[in-house]
């Protein structure tokens, strides 16, 4: 079989596709591809995750994905294994493994190398490799291709195909966005690009396909996340300035945005998660100038401490105070705690000697809402879950003296017996 033969098989959906990494990126992709008619071998080192998927149960909170996964499992098109060598040998292999920060501004390539080692155990002649993971620029050219060529004694672009197709999905909307978002494809050559294109067109024949280079694909994902992160940082700086001048930052931002197409400032609040806060470091580590990215990171990372400082100005020493933190995940409607500013907030609060109770409707290990609020001195709304939009009566019944609203979900007159503070408004 040649790569041209593989292209024909892909058009006919007569291929086996392996997805290495069945987390929040890989599992939606695997289930959507299975429901598009492909045979899928899902590969993941986490045994409990595999067992959950076998039962058709999504291992994390994502209702649309849960529905899609059930359909995929019922179709018989999905099998999951711990090692790719245990599966039916795939024709196409997706990498969806994580590339976290090492904590020192450098990339932790351990999951990526693990995936590379995984596929070095099979013959990749006339197969297609598609990289979905977020990577620093030139990772594909400088690390992945040399590794695969050395291990296989094959030539990339001739003996096997390869493309960079960065994911840009949003947690909780992954299934929907796999159908709707334009797909960026950076193939090493034309045939690789065409094979990748046919896979995504199988999901949606009307899907928009954007063609670039290997490095272009890597940078497109980084630019997307860095743009969002730095924009959030700017909004947060506006909030801090608003506090300095005694105005309501959220209201000023609404004024600036209103019916003005050239202004689209997000609302201030916590900016974190597994991607946004670390992806800029993939570029920043190689710059010789003062980067906007590093400034944005310092600003966004300082917001939890800034909020605590504001609370201290009103409430004084926090030692032995009972503080309720509402929301632990890094974003609304999610159970994802990775690099969550709310987690950082609770850690700083604990270091003050305060007694912390946490409620998050999506995180099972946290306390109930009623238990968390009981006899609370201070309440902090740290995540903008929809469940927190209509609980002012419960908060008022807690008799908390201070309410801090990170996300401006309420108004001052909602809490007549408490001091109401919110990020971006000092009084």
- Report, as residue numbers or ranges, the catalytic residues: 221, 275
Buried b (16+ CB within 10 A) or exposed e, 270-291: bbbbbbbbbbbbbbbeeeeeeb
Which tokens is 41 given? 């071998």
Q: Where are the beta strands (DSSP E) in 71-127?
A: 78-81, 92-95
- Other CB atoms within a 10 A radius of the CB of residue 338 amount to 17
Return d(Cα 16, Cα 1) in angstroms, integer.
14
- Partnered with residue 381 across adjacent β-strands are 326, 405
CA angle in degrees (0–180, nearest 5) for 355-302-356: 10
Q: Give 336's contacts (C-beta < 8 A, 6+ positions apart).
A: 24, 60, 171, 273, 274, 329, 330
Between CA 260 and CA 267, with CA 266 as vertex, the angle to 5 degrees is 115
Nearest Cα neighbor of 45 from 73, 69, 23, 64 is 23
Beta strands 78-81 and 161-164 are unpaired
Beta-sheet pairing, 161-164 with 183-187? antiparallel
Q: Which residues pair with 322 in a beta bridge?
A: 355
Residue 161's DSSP bridge partners are 128
Record the tokens describing residue 272, joined without a space: 């974190």
């Amino acid at each position: 079989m040649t790569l041209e033969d593989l292209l024909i098989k892909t058009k006919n959906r007569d291929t086996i596709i392996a997805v290495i990494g069945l987390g929040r990126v890989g599992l939606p992709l695997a289930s959507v591809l299975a429901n598009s008619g492909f045979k899928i071998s899902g590969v993941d080192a986490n045994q409990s995750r595999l067992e959950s998927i076998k039962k058709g149960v999504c291992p994390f909170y994502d209702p649309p994905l849960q529905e899609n996964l059930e359909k995929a499992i019922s179709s018989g098109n999905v099998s999951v294994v711990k090692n790719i060598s245990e599966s039916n040998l795939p024709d196409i292999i997706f990498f969806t493994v994580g590339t976290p920060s090492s904590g020192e501004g450098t990339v932790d390539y351990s999951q990526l190398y693990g995936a590379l080692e995984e596929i070095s155990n099979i013959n990749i002649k006339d197969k297609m490799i598609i990289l979905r993971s977020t990577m620093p620029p030139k990772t594909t050219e400088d690390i992945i291709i040399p590794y695969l060529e050395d291990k296989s004694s094959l030539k990339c672009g001739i003996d096997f195909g390869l493309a960079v197709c960065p994911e840009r999905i949003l947690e909780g909307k992954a299934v929907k966005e796999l159908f709707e978002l334009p797909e960026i494809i950076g193939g090493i050559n034309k045939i690789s690009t065409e094979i990748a294109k046919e896979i995504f067109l199988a999901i949606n024949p009307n899907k928009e396909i954007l063609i670039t280079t290997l490095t272009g694909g890597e940078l497109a994902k980084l630019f997307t996340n860095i743009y969002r992160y730095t924009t959030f940082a700017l909004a947060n700086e506006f909030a801090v300035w608003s506090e300095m001048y005694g105005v309501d930052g959220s209201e000023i931002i609404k004024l600036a945005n209103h019916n003005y197409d050239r202004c689209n400032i997000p609302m201030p609040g916590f900016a974190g998660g597994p991607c946004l806060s670390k992806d800029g470091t993939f570029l920043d580590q190689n710059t010789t100038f003062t980067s906007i990215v590093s400034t944005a990171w310092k600003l966004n990372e300082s917001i939890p401490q800034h909020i605590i400082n504001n609370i201290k100005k009103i409430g004084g020493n926090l030692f032995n105070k009972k503080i309720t933190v509402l929301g632990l995940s890094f974003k609304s409607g999610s159970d994802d705690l990775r690099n969550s500013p709310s987690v950082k907030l609770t850690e700083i609060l604990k270091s003050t000697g305060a007694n912390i109770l946490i409620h998050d409707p999506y995180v099972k290990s946290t306390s109930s809402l009623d238990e968390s609020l009981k006899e609370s001195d201070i309440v902090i709304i740290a995540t903008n879950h929809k469940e927190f939009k209509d609980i002012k009566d419960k908060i008022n019944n807690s008799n908390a003296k201070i309410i801090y609203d990170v996300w401006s979900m309420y108004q001052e007159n909602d809490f007549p017996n408490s001091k109401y503070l919110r990020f971006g408004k000092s009084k």
